[in-house]
Amino acid sequence: MVAAIVLAWVGGLILLSTMEDRGYDTDAWIRIKLSTRLKFCRMLRLIDDHQVKMKTMDRQIEVQRLKLELLRLENETQQKAFRRKYPDFERQQEIAAQERRRHEEMIVLGERSIGLFESMPKHLNLAEEHLDQAQADFADGAFAPFWDSIEKAANTLGRFNEGVHHINDNSSQYTALIKNCNDIPPEFPLARSSIEKLGMGTATAERMRAIVRNAQRNFQFAVIYEQRKTNQLLVAGFTSLAQALDQMEQRITASIDDLTSSVDVMTSTLNESVRAIHSRTGDIAETTRQHHVELTRGASEGAARERKALEMLDNIQRRRKPSL
């Protein structure tokens, strides 16, 4: 850019000189000549100022770069010194991160389990309503609606059984996580007594079996059953309506027994873990206090939901109609 300006200015001077040589040296051309020289001088000053500013900025950038480099070197030096002083720090950080992940996973498993437990009374209540309708259909001699109601009750009890299975899976995963805990684990939100209350599902299955047995004594209802017994249920674990009616009661009983056993194992593992932490830390009072805090927190957050579900189960039991 500077070269272009210089060339333009020089060309202008040459043109003016040529015109002077040819006798065109008038006042107008002299003014043009002076104006051109003044503009060129101002342009040179602007270029000089710009170059000075650029050099200043470059120096400032270089100073900042050197400062950052110095800080990096200081941090690296400090980090090396810290690692020499605490060689296990990074490993301890990873252990602590793993412990946090286990703790969070256990909380999630507990939350899922209490959610499933809350759905249990809803499934049983709906199954009981379907069985009530089946009894009304039987009394009215409504053959097809009767088996529709029975099929709906079987599907609902199948979902109840699935829920028990899922809680059992959560409990087993919870137990496996407890074994790797280095700190007090969170409390599982369901007690053994609450799990035993789910045995009401077996009573509902017994009621369904009794209603079906009574209907099969009637030739017309039995004929419709023969047409329906191969119907596939909309729930996992049963291939047909006939299989569900034959096995629902024992399946639910087995699932609840498995869950009860799983919760017992989990409780035992939890107690062993707490004792191991006591012996490892040597501070029984503090560890016990932490465990109490965990239990209190769990009670305040989950106990109300558990009590509400248990109350719903009690209400179902009180309202249950006798079988035909």
Query: What residue ranges do the domains of the chain occupy?
Result: 2-85, 102-319
Q: What percent of the chain has pLDDT over 90?
A: 36
Residue located via tokens 């252990």: 95
The answer on pLDDT for 190 being more than 60 is: yes
* Chain mean position to CA 157: 28
Give the count of beta carbons closer than 10 Å to the beta carbon of residue 284: 13
Please state, in angstroms and rounded to a whole number, the distance separating the CA atoms of residues 125 and 177: 34
Give the count of beta carbons closer than 10 Å to the beta carbon of residue 62: 10
Which has the minimum average pLDDT: 26-35, 176-185, 220-229? Answer: 26-35
Instruction: Please indicate whether residue 180 or residue 320 has the higher confidence score (pLDDT).
Output: 180
Instruction: Please indicate whether residue 182 or residue 288 has the higher confidence score (pLDDT).
Output: 182
The answer on pLDDT for 204 being more than 70 is: yes
Average pLDDT, the chain: 78
Instruction: Please indicate whether residue 29 or residue 103 has the higher confidence score (pLDDT).
Output: 103
List pLDDT tens digits, range 124-179: 999 999 999 999 999 999 999 999 999 999 999 999 999 999 999 999 999 998 88
**E strand or H helix at 80, and its extent?**
helix 27-85
Q: What per-residue confidence (pLDDT) applies to 185?
A: 81
Q: What percent of the chain has pLDDT over 70?
A: 63
List pLDDT tens digits, range 156-166: 999 999 999 99
Please state, in angstroms and rounded to a whole number, the distance separating the CA atoms of residues 179 and 26: 106
The answer on pLDDT for 192 being more than 50 is: yes
Mean pLDDT of the 293-306 span:
61
Please state, in angstroms and rounded to a whole number, the distance separating the CA atoms of residues 37 and 44: 11
The answer on pLDDT for 51 being more than 70 is: no
Q: What per-residue confidence (pLDDT) applies to 121?
A: 93
Nearest to 312 by CA among 40, 141, 126: 126
Instruction: Please indicate whether residue 297 or residue 152 has the higher confidence score (pLDDT).
Output: 152
Q: What per-residue confidence (pLDDT) applies to 34?
A: 60
- Reduce the DSSP state of residue 188 to 3 states and report it: coil
- Reduce the DSSP state of residue 141 to 3 states and report it: coil
- Count of positions (residues) in the chain: 324
The answer on pLDDT for 20 being more than 60 is: no
List pLDDT tens digits, range 211-249: 999 999 999 999 999 998 888 877 767 888 999 999 999
With a threshold of 0.75, does the pTM exceed it?
Answer: no
CA dihedral 136, 139, 141, 147 (to 10 degrees): 40
Q: What per-residue confidence (pLDDT) applies to 89?
A: 59
List pLDDT tens digits, range 252-287: 999 999 999 999 998 888 888 777 766 765 554 454
Q: What per-residue confidence (pLDDT) applies to 116?
A: 94
